[in-house]
């Protein structure tokens, strides 16, 4: 089947035994076929590499998104923790002030 298809294009000595020289037409067709095959292989390789890189980038971006969400939650918890400690510190400071005023009042009453 293939020798018949190639015989349409002209004399290709690599394929048919009774041919003595390659014609310009067959040389052109052979170059086109070889170029197409090489181009297809290179195109497939580039596509495959880009697809792999794209998938890797998608995984990295989803991981970054997860980290940003978890960091946001941690920062919110830290802010709540800080607010609770600030309230406790204010209550302790107010209690200390009340104790100081009671001590001063008791000192002035005993004198």
Tokens of 23: 């014609």
Query: Looking at residue 107, what is its pLDDT?
Result: 74
Q: Look-up: residue for tokens 């349409």?
A: 8
Question: Taking the domains of the chain in order of start, what are their residue ranges?
Answer: 2-106
Q: What is the pLDDT of the chain when averaged over all its residues? A: 85
Work out the average pLDDT over 98-104. Answer: 86
pTM: predicted TM-score of the whole model, two decimal places: 0.50
Range list of H helices, 1-111:
2-9, 24-110
């Amino acid at each position: 089947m293939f020798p018949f298809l190639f015989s349409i294009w002209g004399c290709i000595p690599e394929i048919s035994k009774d041919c003595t020289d390659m014609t310009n037409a067959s040389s052109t067709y052979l170059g086109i076929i070889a170029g197409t095959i090489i181009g297809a292989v290179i195109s497939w390789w580039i596509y495959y590499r880009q697809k792999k890189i794209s998938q890797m980038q998608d995984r990295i971006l989803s991981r970054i998104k997860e980290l940003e969400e978890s960091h946001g939650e941690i920062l919110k918890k830290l802010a709540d923790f800080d607010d609770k400690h600030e309230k406790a510190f204010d209550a302790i400071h107010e209690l200390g002030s009340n104790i100081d005023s009671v001590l001063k009042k008791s000192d002035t009453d005993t004198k």
